[in-house]
Amino acid sequence: MPLATQVPANGHADAPLLALQDCTVRFGGLTAVKEFSASIGPRDLVGLIGPNGAGKTTCFNLITGVYAPTSGAITFAGRPIQGDKPHRIAALGISRTFQNIRLFGSLSVFDNVRASFNLRRRTSPASALLRGRAFRSEEKEIEDRTMEILEIFHLHRQRDADCRSLAYGDQRRLEIVRALATQPRLLLLDEPAAGMNPTEKDELMRLIRFVRDKFQIAVLLVEHDMKVVMGICEHIHVLDHGHKIAEGNPVEICRNPKVIEAYLGDEAGAGKN
Amino acid sequence: MNRQIALLLTIALAAGAAMLAGRMDAYYVRILTFIGINVILGVSLNLINGHTGQFSLGHAGFMAVGGYMAAWITVNFGVGFTAALGGPSWWSEAALFLPALLAGGIAAAIAGLVVGVPSLRLKGDYLAIITLGFGEIIRVLLQNIDAVGGPRGLAGIPSYTNLFWTFALAAVTIYVISSLVDSTYGRGFLTVRDDEVAAGAMGIDTTRYKVVAFVIGAFFAGVAGGLYAHSTSYLTPEGFTFQKTVEIVIVVILGGMGNNFGVTVAAVLVTVILEALRFVNDISWLPEWAKDLARNRTMLFSLVLIALMLARPQGLFGTWNLSRRRRTGREEIASAQRA
């Protein structure tokens, strides 16, 4: 089936972009994620929340191929991707940022983004030796597109700066730019608001919405900060100890007693132990 | 296009140097040859250790594979081949020598692939140990292969290496590795060094990049081995000990990991300094302990390395190089900060 027919005009009920079915990840005796199922549509803005150690980042690593599921299936745009290597999954159109910023420390802002264009590069590595016309025109094209995307996110002035010298918020932004340069259909953001002050968080929320609308992609967000998650996500999955305990829109999640217990639970649940 | 012109110019210069070599003291010609060989070794190891960040200690092993392969060809088929082309002449020798060097490079590249594929699952210290082991295995193997003389060594290698081949091939090495790295494709090597997980997530096939770095690095080490073999005209497995690898690693660290310009300069410096150390006995005012230290290169090198790591871990040259982009880049940042 051609891809185009799989992308519906609206909703994701019939053709999700990403679907996880009963995914379990076990590390030795520890079950980090248990029978997790979820689906994300082509333009969805979905949140994944849960207390520390709930398995959120494990879910990310599962989707991006850092881990393979112990059992269960993951399909992206209609094809199974469980067990694929990270770079294959990136090529299919899933990109991500990291909880603790992982920029390429020795590279400039420009090169951090430029490296991502390798994924869609047409000329062969050997053409870098001969430096013929095709090579030069593609390098120029990549340079232009890198500058273009840096400009969209107001990072073009710092193009030659050492990426480690950027302000914290700018580094987070650069990570998002770098991920977008791989031209994903699904962007995973791992705690993008971590370490940000309230003003920066507001800025970030605007940015995430902007990314989704401008690039027409789906966004999956792991976040601790309730204000951010409730503020922008249309659909939320809640994990606790590797189990999905709730799913729904922000209002439903706020009212869900299981979610409240998971977050404030120690006191409420103390009597049961 | 500047870099291609620079390559051609250097090759022309190498031809000129080779023509002048007849009038030069043979000793200086020899040192210049070693400089060229060490440039090739340093820059090729820089691709693996510096740009790709895979700490390999197997470079002397790759050099041995290439040296023995090339020498085996010229020793066994040299006379017949040049005779078939109408006796020894500069072009019949070139027609033999260049393919022999290539064969040496290819043999070393295959060795690089064989070592690289299984061991690149390892990182850091473990990779260093595996590649170190590989170097030793090669040495012991060569000691036991009778076709190349075993422990007696391989003698009677024709002295084909001259300044033209040495410097032309050094220029080609610098050209190939710097053009490869200085491209969108080449940024991939650096991302593997900086953060493998992030590189994978951005679609970089990290394993493939590592294997490519190993194969290309090993290829040029093999070519350097061929040049070395045909300049000393005698090879022994003992010429490719761990100490040779350490010499090359020091060149890379001294020049700055991932800085081809710095590594090239460092290769020249290290070769010249190593040679100069032979003459310390003649300096009358030098105290005896300093002479002892100078005679014991291994110890001196270790001390230099420790001092360097403490004082300047980024190498003598850090990231400073001759490319224009970086310099204009700094100016732009500076002007942006002023504004």
The residues of A whose Cβ lies within 8 A of any Cβ of B are: 64-66, 85-87, 90-91, 95-96, 98, 102-108, 111, 114-119, 121, 125, 128-129, 131, 135, 138-139, 142, 157-161, 178-179, 181-182
Cα distance between residue A229 and residue A47, in whole Å = 6
Sign of CA pseudo-dihedral B315, A168, A183, A238 = positive
pLDDT tens, position by position, A234-273:
999 999 888 898 899 988 888 888 888 887 765 544 444 4
Q: How confident is the model at residue A11, as a pLDDT?
A: 44
CATH assignment at residue A42: 3.40.50.300
Q: How confident is the model at residue B323, as a pLDDT?
A: 55
Question: Which of A183, A200, A220 lies at the terminal end of a domain, its last residue?
Answer: A183
CB contact under 8 A, A139 and B184: yes
Q: How confident is the model at residue A5, as a pLDDT?
A: 40
Question: Which of A149, A183, A217 lies at the terminal end of a domain, its last residue?
Answer: A183
Give the ipTM: 0.86
Cα distance between residue B81 and residue A133, in whole Å = 40
Q: How confident is the model at residue B68, as a pLDDT?
A: 96
Question: Which of A183, A199, A215 lies at the terminal end of a domain, its last residue?
Answer: A183
- Nearest Cα of chain B lies from the Cα of A188 at a distance, in angstroms, of 11
User: Are residues A174 and A138 both part of a single domain?
Assistant: yes
User: Are residues A238 and A151 both part of a single domain?
Assistant: no
Sign of CA pseudo-dihedral B249, B253, B259, B263 = negative
Assign B316 to helix, strand or coil.
coil
Q: Is residue A100 part of a domain?
A: no
Q: Is residue A99 part of a domain?
A: no
Q: How confident is the model at residue A265, as a pLDDT?
A: 65
Buried b / exposed e over B158-178, threshold 16 CB at 10 Å, is: bebbbbbbbbbbbbbbbbbbb
Residue A145 · residue A117 · CB < 8 Å? yes
User: Are residues A29 and A155 both part of a single domain?
Assistant: no
Residues of B within 8 A of A161 (CB-CB) are: 333
How confident is chain B (339 residues) per 10-residue block, as mean pLDDT? 82 86 87 95 95 92 96 89 80 89 97 86 85 92 90 91 92 94 94 93 93 96 96 91 90 89 92 84 82 79 81 78 49 46
CB contact under 8 A, A85 and B186: no
How far does CA B153 lie from the centroid of its chain?
A: 22
Q: How confident is the model at residue B154, as a pLDDT?
A: 92
User: Are residues A260 and A240 both part of a single domain?
Assistant: yes
Residue A22 · residue A37 · CB < 8 Å? yes
How far does CA A211 lie from the centroid of its chain?
A: 12
Say what the pTM is: 0.88
How far does CA B199 lie from the centroid of its chain?
A: 27
CB contact under 8 A, B187 and A103: no
Task: Give kind and range of the element (H or E) at residue B210.
Answer: helix B206-232
User: Are residues A89 and A2 both part of a single domain?
Assistant: yes
User: Are residues A165 and A191 both part of a single domain?
Assistant: no
Interface of B with A in 249-278 (CB under 8 A): 258
CB contact under 8 A, A118 and B203: yes
Amino acid at B228: Y
- Provide the pairing of β-strand A235-240 with A243-248: antiparallel
CB contact under 8 A, A135 and B198: no
In this complex, the residue of A86, A104, A108 whose CB is nearest that of residue B195 is A104
Amino acid at A234: E
CB contact under 8 A, B185 and A128: yes
DSSP H helices in chain A:
56-63, 86-92, 109-114, 127-130, 133-152, 168-180, 198-215, 226-232, 250-255, 257-269
Cα distance between residue A151 and residue A123, in whole Å = 25
pLDDT tens, position by position, B166-197:
999 999 999 999 999 999 999 999 999 999 99
Q: How confident is the model at residue B175, as a pLDDT?
A: 94
Q: Is residue A203 part of a domain?
A: yes
CB contact under 8 A, B332 and A107: no
Closest to A63 (Cα-Cα) out of A235, A223, A221, A246 = A221
Residues of A within 8 A of B201 (CB-CB) are: 64, 66, 86, 90, 95-96, 98, 179
Which residues of chain A fall below pLDDT 70?
1-14, 265-273
Residue A9 · residue A196 · CB < 8 Å? no
Cα distance between residue B222 and residue B62, in whole Å = 6
Assign B11 to helix, strand or coil.
helix
B126-133's contacts with Cβ under 8 Å and 24+ in sequence apart are B127/B54, B127/B55, B127/B56, B128/B55, B128/B56, B128/B57, B129/B57, B131/B56, B131/B57, B131/B58, B131/B61, B132/B57, B132/B58, B132/B242, B132/B245
What is the DSSP code string of B122-163? S-HHHHHHHHHHHHHHHHHHHHH-GGGTGGG-EE-------H
Cα distance between residue B185 and residue A122, in whole Å = 10
CA A130 vs CA A46, A119, A127, A246: distances in Å: 46, 21, 5, 57
Domain that holds residue A140: 105-183
Domains of chain A: total: 2
Residues of B within 8 A of A135 (CB-CB) are: 183
- Nearest Cα of chain A lies from the Cα of B339 at a distance, in angstroms, of 12
Question: Around Cβ B298, how many Cβ atoms within 10 Å?
Answer: 10
Cα distance between residue B31 and residue A176, in whole Å = 52
- Domains belonging to chain B, first-starting first, are 2-338 (1.10.3470)
